[in-house]
Structure 1
């Protein structure tokens, strides 16, 4: 890998126009831009439709006493094209509204989607969900919880949510991760991060 990475920065992009394509629950904008090329020249005008979804958080609650995760299940219509079932096993997540902190959203969504409280909220990482088509950045958190309080069906009726809560043994979650039963990005990334950093994470929780 080159020592100079990334090769360019935002100063090497010129946005010439942004115009709305769709305004609804979400927004779609058409961007027109030119950019520096690896051969040292500038590109021609590039047009891309970009999904303006906003930014989100996702949190993986874990109970070190029972060695269980609290995961949720809900329908995702976008999964129907490639999945045997559009009901997915996910982690708790939600959009960041104007004026909210990432941490506030984690606590709010955990109550709305699973009826649980969080402790030792810990930022793991953030990632761009699909930067070729959307501006969305997702922030992943870990948190300690009491899994024995996780049960039932939750969600906001105003958002047509129908969310079932699951207590999932750590060993089962790892199996689901490995066999592809869990295949949505936020859950895969969060679980992989947890298994990579479990020892340090639990030591951090114990010390605080």
Structure 2
């Protein structure tokens, strides 16, 4: 089945603020071959994002960021042990006219103060962040950086960003992953990828060293 099997009965913009909320009334073909009844669903139009794992294969360090996330407030009511300030990798929304590599390089500089060295490497293809409620897709890249001077506070003041930048060894990051300290999807997937590819990345960096 594909999009031709969906009949949109009505579509309207329910909220048009920082986020966009679209309201759909639709029916779709079911697996038994019949049409579903008309159902009403709200979809958060978030845009599409790029995430970057900034890793220094020479120093074997990952550049991490930490920032407050407002959506954690509602989770905290029922799960008080979940943090409000999340440890993450770099990420940002794709603006009109930007390519995914453009976003990756821009956001890495804005959020971490690091420049990506050389080409980006794909970690994941585009995936739906949470397709039950939002249209947002995410694509994750690895970007080689020099972590020697990484740290401090970063982010764009006009966007209300207050981002703490710090570094951890890859072994420390793997321990944090095992201990459940990372609690957002991009960093979990990026760390799992790094566990598989760290040795290769370090060999490649050593072979190109001057």
The runs of 5 or more residues in structure 2 that have no matched partner are none
In structure 2, the partner of 1:166 is: 166
How far the C-alpha of 1:37 sits from its partner, in A, is 0.7
How far the C-alpha of 1:190 sits from its partner, in A, is 1.4
How far the C-alpha of 1:200 sits from its partner, in A, is 4.9
Q: Segments of 4+ in structure 1 off by > 2 A?
A: 82-85, 196-208
In structure 2, the partner of 1:143 is: 143
In structure 1, the partner of 2:106 is: 108
Distance 1:43 1:202, change over 3 A: farther
Q: CA offsets per residue over residues 4-38 of structure 1, 9 Å max, x none?
A: xxxx2222212222101111011000011111111
Matches within 5 A, 1:1-208: 8-80=1-73, 81=76, 82=79, 83-119=81-117, 120-125=119-124, 126-201=126-201
Structure 2 SS opposite 1:48: strand
Distance 2:205 2:95 in 1: 28
Greater CA deviation, 135-144 or 192-201?
192-201
Distance 1:54 1:206 in 2: 38
Distance 2:200 2:175 in 1: 22
How far the C-alpha of 1:48 sits from its partner, in A, is 0.3
In structure 2, the partner of 1:5 is: none
The runs of 5 or more residues in structure 1 that have no matched partner are 1-7
Q: CA offsets per residue over residues 172-199 of structure 1, 9 Å max, x none?
A: 1001111111111111111112223334
How far the C-alpha of 1:203 sits from its partner, in A, is 5.9
Distance 1:206 1:135 in 2: 41
Distance 1:169 1:202, change over 3 A: closer
Say how many residue pairs are matched.
Answer: 201
Distance 1:97 1:205 in 2: 32
Distance 1:202 1:47 in 2: 51
Greater CA deviation, 76-85 or 37-46?
76-85
With the length of structure 1 as denominator, give the TM-score of the two structures.
0.90
Root-mean-square deviation (Å):
1.8
